[in-house]
A and B are shown apart, each in its own frame.
Chain A
Amino acid sequence: MSERTIVRAAPVSTGILSSARPLRAAIGQTGKWVLSLAVLYALWRWVAVPNVSSLFLASPDAVFAKIWQWTLDGTLVQMVWTTLSEAVLGMAFGAIAGITLALIATLGPKEAGGVINPVFAALYAMPKFALIPLLLVWLGRDTPSRVIFVAITVMPIIFLNMVTGLKTVDPAKVRMIRLFGGGSWQVATKLLLPQTAGYLGTALTISAHNAIASAVGAEILFGATDGLGGMMYTSAFTFSTDAVIGALLVATIFSTLFIGIFQIFSRIGSSRTIG
């Protein structure tokens, strides 16, 4: 992470001489994206679609028409809102629980860590989708179960990253703050949180990817009728390939944006950590 920050800082420090280079790189990058998307469209439109039954593959035009129709009748906003709110709420609960337990496990008595650590190691390795049938019969298929499911997937990721981050804190610095009369709150806000911001950023970025995927996956397994996963689930029954691909496309775009937000946070966090 430190390496990346240093590399990013370099062109700024070299000044006016190299100012053309990032611009050229940006143009090249955009060109690459335009070219590859054009090739994808061409392959899909003129190679795949004519040779495959429309039952298996919808043409890109049909998919875009579907997404446009969703935009007009408000389905799009509704779908994205359902899935994103599940992901965000689940992440919030998962992050709060994960951070709190990580603080207890690292800073509390060693017995607390001795109990919490193995539980999270097991939870991390556990395929979380196995819990879906239990959640379904227990709490039903609506938003609360899905939020709980996302929180369960996110919690161990946040916990393990935070524990790693907290272990990098120098105990001497903690003692120094205490020596100067700082309480636990000051230790947490002045030392622990800034020091672990980079780790939290990484954890949140990984979690963001997982949160969207788990929300969509939960909707599919719960057999939901709302949300992006619900659209994928119900459209598979009516053989609406255009709707399935459209929902996947929308999910991809929003998941990329969602991850992007946390990547930016993560970069700010880690640059601040390094100072």
Chain B
Amino acid sequence: MEAQSVRDRRVTRQNDPGATKRSGGILGYFARHSVAWTRVAAAIVLIAVWQALPKSVLPEYVFGKPLDVLVALWNLIVTGQIFTATGATLLTTLLGVVIGAPIGVAFALLAEVPVLKWVLEPWGNLIYGIPKIGLVSLLILWVGLSSSAQLMLVLLSVIFVYYFAAKQGLAEIDPRRVTAFKLMGAGRVKIVRSLYLGSIAPHLIGATRLALPLGFGTAIFGELRVPTQGNLGRLLDQYALSLNGAGAIAVVLAVGIVAFAIDIGARAGLSYYGRLVGTGVTADE
């Protein structure tokens, strides 16, 4: 749709005698880069409104003022607080994904075993419906207010992403290939290693694309509910509850930047893998 309208515009410009004259000069420059300049203008308007709105509408203890937020962000960077906090939260996320992925795949493989299949498949569907973050209350009772409760919460939410991705991969295996493997004398271990895992692998990349942002969000949730020192959730909570709006907004911005970086990184990794292997797995999956 967009391509079409751009083409239309180009055609009209060619037919319009005044177009060449207008495309020169400062106005023409703005017209050609209108999207970029609208973005800049929107950002300026947003910051101006944020600065100008009275306290009764945008209370300072929640939103701070733009300049104070910048100062707070700078302080967080200079003291290195933001890096240690981000590191701690990212560590929880990565540990969750690294430990959760094999567990999810293992459950998916177990759900292929004839009798276990009847039991595990409905369990999978049942657990899919659980609001996973609600499990935090149970985890607090089990392991107390510790960072392991955060890690287990991330684990639990991530395992199911990998479980369903691996199941999808297994469902796509052509049964005739399994027969062919068996005919050529492959044992069960050989079939799992060469055929099943090979078929699961591309889906795992797609699952990681989902699991990383999910794990990061769940880690933040865990940190807000289970306060332990030195992570992003705790830092945010401290600022917000001490009514330091600028500090809280600075941390939220940092969280957003990290999340965006994770998103872009995961997407780039996925499309790189797609090009490498040519599996046709796309970033939009």
Would you mind naming 16 contact pairs between A and B with Cβ atoms under 8 Å apart?
A: A32-B122, A36-B119, A36-B123, A110-B2, A110-B6, A114-B38, A125-B256, A127-B216, A127-B255, A134-B249, A171-B5, A232-B134, A241-B138, A247-B134, A252-B131, A259-B129
Cα distance A228–B133 when bound, in Å?
Answer: 12
* Contact assessment for A255 and B131 in the assembled complex, using a CB-CB cutoff below 8 Å: yes
Chain B residues, CB < 8 A from A212: 131
* Contact assessment for A129 and B123 in the assembled complex, using a CB-CB cutoff below 8 Å: no
* Contact assessment for A256 and B129 in the assembled complex, using a CB-CB cutoff below 8 Å: yes
* Contact assessment for B38 and A244 in the assembled complex, using a CB-CB cutoff below 8 Å: no
* Contact assessment for A39 and B141 in the assembled complex, using a CB-CB cutoff below 8 Å: no
Chain A residues, CB < 8 A from B36: 114
Cα distance A225–B239 when bound, in Å?
Answer: 24
Across the two chains, which residue of chain B brings its CB closest to A231?
Answer: B137
Contact segment of B71-79, B182-190, B258-266: B258-266
B113-140 residues at the A interface, CB under 8 angstroms: 118-123, 126, 129-138, 140
Cβ distance A41 to chain B, nearest Cβ, rounded Å: 12
Chain B residues, CB < 8 A from A76: none
A200 is an interface residue with CB less than 8 A from chain B: no
- Over the window 10-26 of chain A, the binary record of Cβ atoms lying under 8 Å from chain B Cβ atoms (1 yes, 0 no) is 00000000000000000
Contact segment of A1-9, A67-75, A93-101, A214-222: A214-222
Interface of A is mostly: helix
Given A130-B252, A133-B248, A241-B138, A110:B5 Cβ within 8 A: yes
* Contact assessment for A245 and B138 in the assembled complex, using a CB-CB cutoff below 8 Å: yes
Across the two chains, which residue of chain A brings its CB closest to B143?
Answer: A56
* Contact assessment for A39 and B137 in the assembled complex, using a CB-CB cutoff below 8 Å: no
Contact segment of B17-25, B94-102, B163-171, B218-226: B218-226
* Contact assessment for A138 and B137 in the assembled complex, using a CB-CB cutoff below 8 Å: no
B62 is an interface residue with CB less than 8 A from chain A: yes
Cβ distance A237 to chain B, nearest Cβ, rounded Å: 9
The answer, among B122, B131, B217, B241, for a CB contact under 8 Å with A128, is B217
Given A110-B5, A256-B129, A36:B122 Cβ within 8 A: yes
Given A212-B131, A216-B134, A220-B134, A133:B1 Cβ within 8 A: no
Cβ distance A116 to chain B, nearest Cβ, rounded Å: 9
B35 is an interface residue with CB less than 8 A from chain A: yes
Cβ distance A3 to chain B, nearest Cβ, rounded Å: 12
Cα distance A229–B133 when bound, in Å?
Answer: 10
Chain B residues, CB < 8 A from A221: 221, 224-225
Across the two chains, which residue of chain A brings its CB closest to B35?
Answer: A114
* Contact assessment for B260 and A136 in the assembled complex, using a CB-CB cutoff below 8 Å: no
B34 is an interface residue with CB less than 8 A from chain A: yes
* Contact assessment for B220 and A127 in the assembled complex, using a CB-CB cutoff below 8 Å: yes
Across the two chains, which residue of chain B brings its CB closest to A248?
Answer: B134
Given A134-B240, A171-B1, A233-B137, A251:B256 Cβ within 8 A: no
Given A127-B217, A133-B237, A134-B248, A33:B224 Cβ within 8 A: no
Cβ distance B209 to chain A, nearest Cβ, rounded Å: 11
